[in-house]
Amino acid sequence: MAQQASIELFLGQAEKAARVINETVKNDGFIVVFSHLDADGVAAAGVIGKTLFRLGARFRIRVMQWVDEKIIGEVIADKPQLVILTDFGSGYLDLLQEKIPTFKVLILDHHQVTGTVSNTNFVQVNPHLFGIDGATDVSGSGVAYFVAKAVNSANVDLAPIALVGALGDMQDRYDQRKLCCLNELMANDGVAAGLLKVEKDLMFFGRETRPIYKMIVTTTNPFLPGLSGQETETLNFVADLGIPLKQGDKLRALCDLTDEERKKLCTALGDYLLSKGLHLEVENLIGYIYILSKEEPNTALRDGREFAVLLNSTGRMDRPSLGIAICMGDRKAALEESNKILEDYRKSINKYLGWVNEKPERMRELQNIYVVNGESFINEKIIGTVSSIIVSNLTNNEKPLIAFANVETEQAAKFSARTTEAAVGKGVNLGDIMRLASEEHGGKGGGHNIAAGAQVPLDRINGFIKMVDELVGRQLRGEKFGSNNNA
């Protein structure tokens, strides 16, 4: 975890970025914001969007999959007085400085940094520059939040939205799924402002929106053999505990239970797991939950993790403006439409997972990695979600997984790489691997040690996969290369 001195240096850089924003708005400058399309990127765009809106700034927000020539072309055509990149940009420093050197650029990112900022027009706020882990200690929306707070302390009310981005980026990887370091500072801001509650509870997804039995039926982490996927058995299990499933005509969710009922359910589930010999799984039952206390109960926006899935769905399903609108305060039309998008998103994921499982050749095991070929069937914007789900269910959790989908219109393949803490503990850094292998094969890539991405030309796919397999093997053998070394 980061030291206090590192945190102070990071916050100082955030203040520098805030001064650039304030100065641009004071001079009535036009600002363009580009952000990534996942939950963290959408939340980051929402945080910066609300900040600029409150300043009365002239601005436009675009959500993209990666930094490319499209972004460069838009900047050159629009001639904004300030360009802000949130949740990406640090992996494209050389490209940006080469193509738009005369523009003022703010990079608010948390991915591993490639290259250095040598242009005085560029200001970069990135935790890695100060020895803070951007994969676990602050996300892109968190970086945006600390800049927003430095712009005006009243923006502390954006802390819950930024925290949702961190949860969407799966940064709750400390003991009992807790957020720590800069993320914890952000959570503390939200609690102090009366906007957030941090509690310990059963760690089941859907605590606000799913009936108790349905929440247990659909859980895979922890997996409950005999209950997960088994509706009748789960209904009987809950009924035998004497916990009413309904309150009037309404099916009760976990958040509706009394403290006594929650304790009874938790004890029963713990005993059930122990009876199955799953002692380690008992530890996964309880963890930290993050409740947005000003949001309506029994909605997806009340629970931080459910909120994150909603935002992710809007970005992945080509409707990021809905997610940004929600982050900026819309609780009517945008929220209603987003709930429909979420249902379509879930159906798409199930369709893609079923498709992968249909034929063994769609998922291959190489010497050091698994490879999922999504061909042109899987939407390249959802390949990351698919790979995250698959890797969490692998029997060999020390082998990373790379999944890809073809983007025929761009003659490129979009790769998503995911691994586990076990592999990272053995030295795997997917951010370095995807960057090195993609650059060697005419593409671009990068990310975090545990999750990364790349895009490469369609005719270079096989060579890219082979190199990724080799590089993972080298890292597992303890060879050092990457950010500060030559491969």
Q: Does the structure show a pLDDT above 60 at 95?
A: yes
Q: What is the pLDDT of residue 73?
A: 95
The least confident of 82-86, 386-390, 394-398, 463-467 is 394-398
Ranges in the chain annotated CATH 3.90.1640.30 = 4-172+179-199
Residues 162-171 as b/e (b if ≥16 CB within 10 A, e otherwise) read bbbbbbbbbb
How many other C-beta atoms can be found within 10 angstroms of the C-beta atom of residue 178? 17
Q: What is the pLDDT of residue 2?
A: 65
pLDDT tens digits along 297-345: 999 999 999 999 999 999 999 999 999 999 999 999 999 999 999 999 9
**Are residues 1 and 130 in contact, defined by beta-carbon separation less than 8 angstroms?**
no
Tokens of 354: 């079923």
Q: Does the structure show a pLDDT above 80 at 17?
A: yes
CA distance 270 to 318: 41
Residues 312-348 as b/e (b if ≥16 CB within 10 A, e otherwise) read bbbbbbebbbbbbbbbbeeeeebbebbeebbeebeeb
Find the mean pLDDT for residues 85-89: 97
The CATH architecture that domain 359-476 belongs to is: Roll (3.10)
Q: Does the structure show a pLDDT above 50 at 487?
A: no
CA distance 364 to 468: 14
Q: Does the structure show a pLDDT above 80 at 481?
A: no
Q: What is the pLDDT of residue 199?
A: 95
pLDDT tens digits along 365-382: 999 999 999 999 999 999
The least confident of 75-79, 304-308, 390-394, 403-407 is 390-394
pLDDT tens digits along 62-77: 999 889 888 999 999 9
Q: What is the pLDDT of residue 411?
A: 93
Strand 30-36 relative to strand 82-86, pairing: parallel
CATH class, range 4-172+179-199: alpha beta
User: What percentage of the chain reaches a pLDDT higher than 90?
Assistant: 88
CA distance 301 to 294: 9
pLDDT tens digits along 127-138: 999 999 999 999
The least confident of 26-40, 103-117, 222-236, 316-330 is 222-236
Q: What is the pLDDT of residue 8?
A: 97
Burial level of 376, CB count in 10 A (0-12/13-18/19+)? exposed
Q: Does the structure show a pLDDT above 50 at 214?
A: yes
DSSP state, residue 153 = G
Q: Does the structure show a pLDDT above 60 at 483?
A: no
Q: What is the pLDDT of residue 482?
A: 66
> 1: pLDDT confidence band, cut at 50, 70 and 90?
low
What crossing angle do the helices spanning 259-275 and 231-240 adopt, rounded to 10°? 120
CA distance 444 to 434: 8
Q: What pTM value is reported for the model?
A: 0.91
pLDDT mean across residues, the chain: 94
> 165: pLDDT confidence band, cut at 50, 70 and 90?
very high
Round to the nearest angstrom and report the end-to-end CA distance of the chain.
Answer: 28
The least confident of 370-384, 435-449, 473-487 is 473-487
User: What percentage of the chain reaches a pLDDT higher than 70?
Assistant: 98
DSSP state, residue 50 = H
Find the mean pLDDT for residues 17-41: 98
For residue 465, give the 3-state DSSP assignment: helix
